[in-house]
Amino acid sequence: MNKMHTLTKIILSAIGILFTIRLLSQLPFAIYWFYSKPAWETAGSLLLSLLLTAGIVAVLLYIFVYKRESLAKKIVGSEQLPEPDSQIQWLPVALRLICIAGGFYFLSTVLRQTTYVIGQLAFFEAHTYANANYKVIYTYAPFNYRSLLPWIIMLICGIYLVCGAPHFVRWQVKKTLQLCKQQSEMKKVR
Amino acid sequence: MTKMQIIAKATLTFFGVSAIVNLCHNISMLPSLTQNASILRVILFLPIFIILLIAIVYLLILKNDWLAHKMAGSGEELNPESEALWLVGSFRMVAIFYGLILLSSSIPTILNIVVSPLHIRPMISEIFTFRTFPKSLIFTPSQWSSMIYNFLKAMLSVYLLYGWPQFIRFQLNIRKTKSSLNQNRYTEGIENE
């Protein structure tokens, strides 16, 4: 196990803990709907939001804290890095870690929006049963394509980034090395 | 420059760019906050924002070497080739990280920009046929400011994800001129001796 593996493991644990905190911090919003209108609908939405959050937190903790060693090996590649390549090899590893962190940022934002929409729908449903006038006041349509499309794109981007965004990382590394090469060639010409 | 100084420099640049975006967000909210306020208050607010903006750009983005030196301290200097690699790599990582954060809130704006040609055509035909300005294009100042802010943020996120090439080249050129100046001084010193 070299320095890069240890560093990757630490960063992976940090990502897991950070996003667990970010996901747990949205629970008060899920509770808010039930608190403001206690009914079966809002209770159901609260339960669903709690289950979704708990499921994702469990997956996060399992992958990033319990199974972080195998993930670190996958991200870094070979266990013993040859010394001359180590200057270049840290770049894709770091970019991949950034992509994973970005992907979880995307996914946690999608989850927050999902729990918000579920809570809001349940809240309006509970109100419409209580008072028919609410149907007129709240003509809320969260399931049309215009409001759903950005979240679907975000979900797809999030999944791609969590997988390590291989094409994007390869392209960025290629561009970085090209830029460095250009600079060193310009220096030689001068 | 040492490795730690380069990382500190990239981190300072990240703080600078995020501070600029937050400041621009505040400026975009100014029309809605000062709807009932006098023009004098707006005139008083704007210079403060502009001074802060200039200070952030100057201290955290353009001339952050002294702060990076103070933060990271001294250490083993890198050779020019690995210094360039570390500089490009760390700036690019910062760019991608912040680009992804900005992209997460810019996806609706990018979608609106992509579908805008579909909306522009009927509007143009309305202007030429009825000789009236489309009502859907009449926005309040606060709507205009938030639209401009969202557009600039989306452009910045795309540019950062593209790798921030011009800025990185500019930083590399600054480093190169600095190192060549130091080398000239060193050779002049040897010749004088």
Provide the mean pLDDT of chain B.
83
Q: What is the pLDDT of residues A81-128, one digit of tens each?
A: 544 455 667 788 888 889 988 998 998 889 888 888 887 777 777 766
- Specify the pLDDT at position A82: 47
- Specify the pLDDT at position A84: 44
Q: Specify burial of residue B181 (Cβ count, 10 A radius: 0-12, 13-18, 19+).
A: exposed
ipTM above 0.85, yes or no: no
The domain containing residue B53 runs over which residues?
A: 3-192
**Strands, E assignment, chain B:** none
Supply the pTM of this predicted model.
Answer: 0.81
Residues in chain B within 8 Å Cβ distance of A88: 85
Using CA atoms, how far residue A154 sits from A21, A149, B150, in Å, is: 20, 8, 17
pLDDT classification of A188: cutoffs 50, 70, 90:
low
Q: What is the pLDDT of residues B28-62, one digit of tens each?
A: 887 776 666 666 777 777 788 889 889 999 988 88
pLDDT at B169 over 70: yes
- Specify the pLDDT at position B128: 78
Residue pair A81/A4 in contact (Cβ under 8 Å)? The answer is yes
Highest averaged pLDDT of the listed ranges A37-46, A121-130, B12-21: B12-21
CA distance B138 to B43: 25
User: Could you tell me which chain B residue has the CA closest to the CA of A90?
Assistant: B89
Cβ pair B104:A91 closer than 8 A:
no
pLDDT classification of B131: cutoffs 50, 70, 90:
confident
Would you say the C-alpha torsion B186, B62, A102, A160 has a positive or negative sign?
Answer: negative
Domain range annotation of chain A: 3-75+86-189
Surface of B (133-162) touching A: CB under 8 A: none
Interface of chain A toward chain B, CB-CB under 8 angstroms: 87-88, 90-91, 94-95, 98-99, 101-102, 105-106, 109, 149-150, 153-154, 157, 161, 172, 175-176, 179-180, 183-184, 187
CA distance A164 to B111: 24
Overall number of domains in chain B: 1
